[in-house]
Chain A
C-alpha cells in the first residue's frame, strides 16, 4: 500500500514537537486566560460632552495638527456598545479617523433604566440625535455635520436625515444598514406576528432583556459559539489570537437591553409592516421617506454579513434621493467589516477617501 505522494514523512517529528510545545503552552496560557482580564477597550482619550439617561455624547480629542472643517458624529447601534469602533490602539476606527484629521464625536448608548421603558422611536430620532447634532455644532463651531451610522444606528440616521431634510447633515455614511426587513429572514420568522405577541412581552418585562437580544443574534449561527470556543482552545498558545478573541467576545456578549416602546415600534413598523422600505414610515407624525435624503451618502455592506444580509440592505442606495450616492461591498462580516483586522486595509481607507473630499 503506497502512501499519498504528498505525504511528507520527514516533517512528522517536527510536527509532533510543535504540537507537544503547543499543548504545554495551552496549559500555561489556559491558566493565564482565566486569571487575567482582557485588553482595555475604548481607551482613545475622550470627553463626555453630554449625558442623559441612556444617551451619551463623547468628543474624542484630536490627534492631528490640522482637522477637517466638518465634524463627524457617529451614531452607534442601540443594541451594542460603541467601543467596537475603538478596540485597542492600532485596531481602532476612531483612532484611524483622528489620525486622518477628522473631528470625531460619538452618540453611544448605555442600558436604558426600567423607567426608560417608555422611550419611543421619536425620542431617539426627534430628540436624542438632534440634541447631539446641536451640541456638536455648538462645540465645534461649525454648522455642517457628517453622520456615520452603524447597523441600526444607520437606520436611526436615515430616519433623522429623511425628516430633517434642510440640514444640518452634510454627509451620511451607513455601515451594514438594513431597510428591507422582510429580507432579514430569521429575525422576521422569530417575530412572526401570528405567534410573537410583542405587546404582551413589552407590557410584562418593560425593557427587552439583553439576554433575549443576545440569544436572537446567536441563534442566527447556533454552532458558532461552540466552534469559537474550540478554536480558542486550539489557539490559546497564540497571544494575538487570544487578544482578538477576548475583544470581540466581550463586545458581542455586552449586549444592551432595548427600551420597551422603542422595541414595540421596531417590531410593528419595521419587522411587521416594513414601513421604511414601503415609504410609509413616520416618526412622531412626521413622514420619513428615504427619497427625501439629498445629501451625499456612502453605504458600506459586508459580503458575508449574517445579521444584515445583502438582500436587506441592497435597496438603500436606489431609494435615496441623493445624486451623490455610492454603495461599496467589501469582504468581511457584520462586525469584521468595521472593526476586524482587515478593516484597516479595506473599509477605513475607502471611507477616508470618500469623506475627506466632502469634509472641507
Chain B
C-alpha cells in the first residue's frame, strides 16, 4: 500500500486499471438497455446487407478477370480433403493390421504404452 502511494508508476497502473473497470461497467450498463440492442441490430442489419452485395460484386469481378471462382477453388479443396481422408483411412487400416498382429501401435506407427496406469493414490502417492 505504502509502495503505491510513493511510486508514480504503480499509481499510474492503478489509475489505468480503475479507469478500465469504470468504463467497462458504465458501458455494460448502457449496453443492457433495449434501445442499445435496437440501435446495434439496426446497424448490424445494414452492414450484413452491404457485405452480401459486396460479395456478389466480387464474384462478378473475378469472373471478368478470368480468375478461378470461389466454387472452383472450393472444389479443389474438397478433392484435396478427400485424398487426405483416404490417406487417413489407409493409416487407420495399417494400424488395425498392426494391432491384430498383437503390437499396440499408434497412428504414427510407434508402439503405444500399456494402459495399466493407476492413480497416484492407489500407488502410495507415486505418479
Contact = CB atoms under 8 A, between A and B. Distances in A.
B127 A204 contact: no
Given A204-B52, A227-B16, A47 B108 contact: yes
Nearest to A11: B6
Which of under 10, 10 to 19, 20 to 34, or 35 or more describes the interface residues of B?
35 or more
B34 A194 contact: yes
Interface stretch (A75-83, A160-168, A183-191, A322-330): A183-191
A201 B52 CA distance: 10
Contact of B5 (A6, A201, A221): A6
B64 interface: no
Interface string B5-46: 111010001001101100110011001111011101110110
A1 B16 CA distance: 29
B127 A357 contact: no
Which of under 10, 10 to 19, 20 to 34, or 35 or more describes the interface residues of A?
35 or more
A219 B5 CA distance: 33
B92 interface: yes
A7 B5 contact: yes
Interface in B68-127: 70, 74, 77, 81, 84-85, 88, 92, 95-96, 99, 104, 106-108, 110, 112-122, 127
B67 interface: no
A67 B16 contact: no
Chain A CB within 10 Å, residue with most, of B33, B42, B117: B117
A6 B52 contact: no
B9 A227 contact: no
A62 B112 contact: yes
B44 A50 contact: no
A65 interface: yes
A64 B126 CA distance: 14
A201 B118 contact: no
A305 to B, nearest CB: 14
Contacts of A7: 5-6
A223 B16 CA distance: 10
Given A7-B5, A113-B74, A223-B20, A67 B117 contact: yes
Contact of B92 (A61, A138, A201, A357): A138
B48 interface: yes
Interface in A32-59: 47-53, 59
B65 interface: no
Nearest to B23: A223
Interface string A176-210: 00000000011001101011110011001100010
A15 B48 contact: no
Contact of B37 (A61, A113, A192, A234): A192
A127 interface: no
Contacts of B31: 186, 189-190, 219
Contacts of A30: none
B106 to A, nearest CB: 7
Nearest to B6: A7
A192 B121 CA distance: 50
B106 A59 contact: yes
A145 to B, nearest CB: 13
Given A222-B27, A223-B24, A227-B20, 12 more contacts: A7-B6, A15-B7, A49-B92, A51-B84, A52-B81, A53-B81, A66-B115, A69-B115, A114-B70, A189-B32, A189-B37, A360-B117
11 contacts: A51-B81, A51-B88, A62-B113, A186-B28, A189-B33, A195-B41, A200-B48, A219-B31, A224-B20, A357-B119, A357-B121
Interface of A: 4, 6-8, 15, 19, 47-53, 59, 61-62, 64-69, 100-101, 103, 113-115, 135, 138-142, 185-186, 189-190, 192, 194-197, 200-201, 204-205, 209, 212, 219-224, 227, 230-231, 234, 353, 356-357, 359-360
